[in-house]
Amino acid sequence: MTATTDTTNARVAVTGAAGYIGSRVVRELQEAHPDWEITALDNFYRGKVRSIGDLDIDHVDIRNRDRLEEALDGADVVMHLAAISGVDDCEENSDLAYEVNVEGTNNVAWFCRKTGAALVFPFSMAVLGDPQEFPITVDQPRDPMNWYGRTKLLSERAIEDFADGAFPAHLYMISNLYGSHAVDGTAVSKGTVINFFVDRARAGEDLTVYEPGTQSRNFVHVIDVARAYVRSAERLVEQLEAGETGVEKYEVASDEDPSVHTVAELVRDVAAEQTGVDVDVTLVENPRGDDETLVESFTVDTTEAREKLGWQPERSVEETVRRLLSE
């Protein structure tokens, strides 16, 4: 079935809907557009959520093209979030990462080319490797340092080709995620750097920081990222109506890029203040050796997302750390 557009009753499909980001995207879509028809898909490789409100998540593996096309049938916008997303997971399961991140994404993009449905896809800052210029933009050279980044780069290039003259697509370069959220009372989180520190502080364990500790990272809250996806869906519906095709790329990040050691110290201080738990921050040898970006400033230019999507981050690292440690 070919996609049709109706701004008041769009049909949106989300792959990876049981995951850390996907489950929040579905919730934000439900709240922002209760009249939209939402389809949620996942193969539950990592995702724990099985339903969101009154919406059940369908068990669909994006590697199965026939089953995938059946599930996506009629979608105006596909938010493709299903992926093997961890650097370590991709290294340990390289064949699976290729099948899901490359072949699975090609299946989704081919569906969009056949039907004209719009597409949203995160290709990650991992495609850049070790950035040489700041602030970071989507136009910088690609030189991924790990298999995860390589699979995302292959998908980025494929979507550019699939979308040309066929459908509009938004590709996201997302910085380091943090924070948690709740789906129907169930906490959804992931072992990101800040979440890792908070969990260890709660347990009264030392906060271990990879040497040298001065390496800076840009951090953006998972709920802020989900809000950006909603804005993309809204813009893509308009672009479908206008007959636009091709790729737009957006940097999705915050204005905060503290060093990892600084973040650990913040968690340590807030834990002592709010819970009375004293933990130490300790430096440990970096197991990834040279495969890590070691810079003291990690700024990201989010002008495109602010101007075209009307999006900007709303949550801060300190506010989130304080909330997490008070729960």
**CATH code where residue 127 lies:** 3.40.50.720
Same domain, yes or no: 200 and 242 = no
Under 8 Å between Cβ of 9 and 36: yes
Same domain, yes or no: 69 and 187 = no
User: Nearest to residue 327, comparing CAs of 199, 204, 208, 226?
Assistant: 199
pLDDT at 1: 40
Whether 145 is covered by a domain: the verdict is yes
Same domain, yes or no: 80 and 227 = yes
Whether 2 is covered by a domain: the verdict is no
Whether 22 is covered by a domain: the verdict is yes
Same domain, yes or no: 168 and 270 = no
At 170 the three-state DSSP class reads: strand
> φ and ψ at 279, to 5 degrees?
-130, 160
pLDDT in tens, 79-92: 999 999 989 999 99
pLDDT at 289: 64
CA distance 108 to 62: 7
Contacts of 242 (CB under 8 A, 6+ apart): none
When the pLDDT of each residue in the chain is averaged and rounded to a whole number, the result is 94
Same domain, yes or no: 114 and 194 = no
Under 8 Å between Cβ of 102 and 111: no
Whether 49 is covered by a domain: the verdict is yes
User: Is the pLDDT reported for residue 265 higher than 50?
Assistant: yes
Same domain, yes or no: 229 and 285 = no
Please count the structural domains in the chain: 2
pLDDT at 8: 72
Same domain, yes or no: 29 and 160 = yes
Whether 37 is covered by a domain: the verdict is yes
Tokens found for residue 286? 């970096």
- List the CATH number of the domain containing 194: 3.90.25.10
- Of the pLDDT bands very low, low, confident and very high (cuts 50, 70, 90), residue 7 is low
Q: Range of 98's domain?
A: 11-176+220-252
Contacts of 243 (CB under 8 A, 6+ apart): none
For 39-57, what is the HEC assignment? EEEECCCCCCCCEECCEEC
Whether 244 is covered by a domain: the verdict is yes
At 85 the three-state DSSP class reads: coil
Same domain, yes or no: 236 and 293 = no
pLDDT at 291: 62
pLDDT in tens, 213-260: 999 999 999 999 999 999 999 999 999 999 999 999 999 999 999 999
> 1-15, 115-129, 259-273: which has the minimum mean pLDDT?
1-15
CA distance 194 to 208: 12
Whether 211 is covered by a domain: the verdict is yes
> φ and ψ at 206, to 5 degrees?
-60, 150
DSSP annotation of 231? H
Under 8 Å between Cβ of 303 and 252: no
Mean pLDDT of 114-126: 96
pLDDT at 2: 45
Same domain, yes or no: 191 and 259 = yes
What is the DSSP annotation of 280-319? -EEEE--TTTTSS---S---B--HHHHHHS-------HHH
C-alpha distances out from residue 128 to 4, 81, 172, 306, Å: 35, 19, 13, 22
User: Nearest to residue 75, comparing CAs of 118, 113, 46?
Assistant: 118
Contacts of 64 (CB under 8 A, 6+ apart): none
User: Is the pLDDT reported for residue 272 higher than 50?
Assistant: yes
